[in-house]
Amino acid sequence: MQILAADIKTIKIILKEARIHMNNTTANMPLKDSLKPSPLALLPIGVFLVIYAGSGIIFHDFYNMPAIIAFLAALLTAFLQTRTLSFSEKITVIAKGLADENIITMCLIFLTAGAFSGAVSAAGGVEHTVNLGLKLLPASWSAAGLFIIGCFLSISMGTSVGTISALAPIAVGISEKTSISLAMCIGAVISGAMFGDNLSMISDTTIAATRTQGCSMKDKFRTNFFIVLPAAILTFVLLLILPSHSEVVSVYAKDANLLLIAPYLFVLVSALCGMNVFAVLILGTVFSLAAGIFTGNLSGMEIFTCMGDGITAMYDITVISIIVSCIGSLIKYNGGIDWLLTAIRQRIRSPKGARFGISVLTAGIDTATANNTISIILAGPIAKEISTEYDISPCETASLLDISASVTQGLLPYGAQVLYASAATASAVMPLSGVDIIAYNYYPMFMAFCLLGWIFLRRTHNK
């Protein structure tokens, strides 16, 4: 009996040591890349859309609810869903997602682009660029001229809202002094703003689209430009022949300093020549500060505060990008991305269907969020998986994302661009609502047709 008791005790010790060894082994095992595909894993996105879009519908203002609050609620939902992992393991999952080279690069580009934008704006580059365009273009081109100036300004500044803020008051003045309808002038401004928002090397949408797909900005610009060029030409021609012009407006007489415009040209040309985007933005910022100091527009602490203001303006989108990456990592681990890809693949039969699916997905998210950058960040990882499956080049996928988001954003009556433009008409004899304006946003409309033509009418080429 004593021998048997000793044997049992020995067995218990062995089993205990075996359990300890197994627990240690399990703890040190790498986490799975993802669980089984499940539609429930997409619940965080649904929570975000309900909170963000729901507040916009209830309060009649889609910018009443800060996007970051809705995204934090979505992140909390994703954390609560992932029950198979401990809290520290969940942190490990999102840390791996944040460690992605594209996410880090995107955030750093956002901040350096903000520094450039703040410096060049404070130096007076925006005002003088507008003045030069108004001075060079004939008065008979008033509406078409607003579009051309908007195109150049937005592609140089990288922001559609900034372009609208600078040009919309001028558009109101031109409308009051000519026979051109205010809605057409404002529509021309928004059209020009969306041109650069989609194409600019320092636009947050371009940055998000290229980084999520892992392609160069130069390659994306080349592909994107040839898709939307017919839309820009058609818009210019339409704005040239539709209005009837009556008199020259005095606003064209303002002076423009070419030195203050030069930083925009430097950034545009350098980026197109393939220079590293960080080098372009840093040198462009230094160039802008030097021009501002030389002309007397900047002095003392203004040299630093203008850069700080520009960087601060990028905080929201940078933090949102980080939070969205965290949410995406948990959604992917829980099998949401795999389920969504499976569902999309079941409805896609060809590369054309894949391109159309990416475009519809992006447009749908933008309709719900009223933010084209956020829609690209959300749709980007899914689009990358689809494009890899159907052998679509990264630069084309980035173009599809950016164009789809820009088309939708330019036609949303509750989007920031249309809302800013509508607010600028408050001083006019007959102020405009967002619905009044979108009928004259010709460029986003033509861009939609060009995108569909690119998807369905051209021959399919592999990478």
By three-state DSSP, how is residue 180 classified?
coil
Taking residues 139-151, what's their average pLDDT? Answer: 83
Query: What is the C-alpha to C-alpha distance for residues 77 and 379, in angstroms, rounded to an integer?
Result: 19
pLDDT in tens, 80-131: 988 888 889 999 998 888 887 767 877 887 788 788 878 888 888 777 777 7
Q: Which pLDDT belongs to residue 331?
A: 85
Q: Model confidence over 406-451: pLDDT tens digits?
A: 999 999 887 778 877 887 787 677 788 777 888 999 999 999 999 9
pTM of the model: 0.71
Question: Which among 113, 71, 108, 52 is positioned nearest to 366, based on CA atoms?
Answer: 52
Q: Which of 202, 193, 212 is nearest to 110 (CA)?
A: 202
Lowest mean pLDDT among 42-46, 70-74, 154-158: 154-158
CA distance 278 to 37: 39
Q: Which one has a higher pLDDT value, 188 or 82? A: 188
Looking at 273-314, list the stretches that DSSP marks H as alpha helix, in order from N- to C-terminal side: 277-295, 302-313
176 burial class (0-12, 13-18, 19+ CB within 10 angstroms)?
Answer: middle
pLDDT for residue 164 is more than 50 = yes
Other C-beta atoms closer than 10 Å to the C-beta of 127 total 16
| Identity of residue 415 | G
Reported confidence tier of residue 245, pLDDT bands at 50, 70, 90: very low
Is-contact 81 329, C-beta < 8 A?
Answer: no
